[in-house]
Structure 1
Amino acid sequence: MTTMREVADRAGVSIATVSFVLNDTKPVTPATRERIETAMAELGFRRNAMARALASRRSHLLALAYPALEHKLGSTGMEFVTGAAAAAREMEYHLVLWPVSNDATELGELVADGLADGVLLMEVLLDDPRIEVLQRAGLPFSLIGRTADPDALDYVDIDFDQTMTIALDHLQELGHQRIALLQEGPLQRLLQSYGPKRRTRQAFRRMTRHRGLDVVVLDCPPTVGGGRQAVTRLVAEHPDLTAIMVQNEHAAAGVVSGLQSVGVAVPRDMSVLSFLTSPDMAMMSDPELTMLRAPGTALGDLGVRRLIDLVEAKPRPTEPAAPQLIPCELVAGETTAAAPSR
């Protein structure tokens, strides 16, 4: 095993200087740092994570708190996770997934153990009890998502208003005037205040009213079977519908197959547009879904970088950093087309 002495000899510096670079305890000139890092690479030197943690008084572990029992971690969620993990690795941190509930009980226990330097929250509720736990603990945290009143928090999120504008523009350009919004139903009381669902629904109602569109809103379970059942009901009760927006990627394939099973051809008779989706989920449908792709990789990256700034106490203003909102991207598939005449 290569030692610090061998690295120091190869780089032509003292052991203390190598230690400064490894533990970020004192500034080192860029040229010296480059020589030491080159020597470490050439000799195959591996940093001792435990020693580094003891020296810096940080574990270099970041916790991604994801309530897996309340929200399935599908392909779209994994894009957020992989974006966050890549950013953490680039900045020499390790990201661990904490599948803890939104009710904050487990999170409080984990925070008390002092395992992580900071926490990144996902699947944020409008009134999220995890926020108070982290604030009381004094542990740095940032959010992918936002509460009802997020002004005092560091967060990044989807731009739901801009995303809805993109969706409605696409459908109206195809001639659709009678549109349904199908969303994941609350599996328990906590999810009734789930931020993405509420913000999407509010934007949908506000913008369709402004545009003079005739709309329907319906919840369904986040399963293929739930999508089939919901769409059967929609077709029976609202035969004049020509387009369905699905904010529930686990139900989207069921929506398409359910329509076809009752004799409604997609997209000839009905267009389907899937919200907050990943390419993997879109391709599970036949025909392939037209989607609004979630900016998961970008938001995961941004969320981790903000968190590390807080962990390392980098100079910052008294106010939180300006939030960054990113809209979903429209990706053409095979499930939207010109509205049929009724």
Structure 2
Amino acid sequence: ESAIMLLVVMAGFLLLDKIPYIEKVFPGPVQRLVDRKAIWQDPWNNEVFGGDQIANGLWAMSSGGVSGQGIGEGFAKTIPEAHTDMILPSMGEEFGWAGIICVFIAFLLYLHRSILIGRLLLGVNVGQYLFNNKKWVTQPALVADRSGARMFSYNPRIAILMNRLGAGNLLDRKGRILATGSPEAYLKQQDSLIAAGLNPTELQSLSHKRLDRYYPFYESMFFWVGDMNSGAFMGSTNGYFAEYEHMAELRGFPAPETKFQVKASRFRENRFLPRVETEMTVAKRDFSALSGLLLAGINSKKVEEFKKQNRDVQMTVDAALQTDLQNALQTLDTLKNSRISVVV
């Protein structure tokens, strides 16, 4: 493929300006091509502004001769584009014919090694990722964060899809809504929520807010439920945080977690400490259940159909009991200046 591409480029360089009327369609590029060809055909006699570019390179190489002028003794600044297109003449002036031959030998060695490596990789190609894509589209990568701690990185399309799916309702043991994406859902239960100890005015006020998730029992159930609007305490262990714990189930698919013991060879707890080698536990989520939706397309009908299934998650906690306990604690004078919560 590379050889064919090279032939196409060379043919275009030689013949493109010969196509009739093409100079009227693309006058600038075609004229530039004509000028380049004129310099290439005769670097010593042409009518092109800046037509001494090749001549400058030839002057530099002729100054270098066989052994060169020596390191730092050349005048590369006199050669146009000596750091890019004309870097070989600038090296020829300082290292001579011997230096140019060494450059070509280095390229031949590089080509030889590339061919050997290519032969070893004949069985490894992009085809497996394209034709066996159901496996690889959800395959996580084990990398490191800024501190050197190991972590799994996931296909960002998974997060986009989960956001598109939205979450179902989170319910207590008696079916009361603890979290929902629609205020209409908990307003239908307004009577039972008020009977559970909630303020009707606060329920109405909450319904007028523009939020992704609504939490009627926010004050008394935060450590049970969590808060997806802010992501507060996500990943923490000082509560259950069902919105985070059941993030996958609330969207209608399983995502089992597996823990691994891995080695971090460049871990640094903070920027004042040296990097050390340590072992740590990392958790990997299996999102293979989403591979079909990802391959179908995030905006596909398959995703819309998937969203229609029941994705509610019911917990064993009693929201009314939890609210009564929290309200009772607030009436105790001995606890008024304390931060306390009861989880049953």
TM-score of the two chains, using structure 1 as the length reference:
0.27
**Higher relative contact order, structure no. (Cα contacts within 8 Å, ≥ 6 residues apart):** 1
Would you tell me which structure has more strand in proportion to its own residues? 1
Asked which structure has the greater CA Rg, the reply is: 2
TM-score of the two chains, using structure 2 as the length reference:
0.27
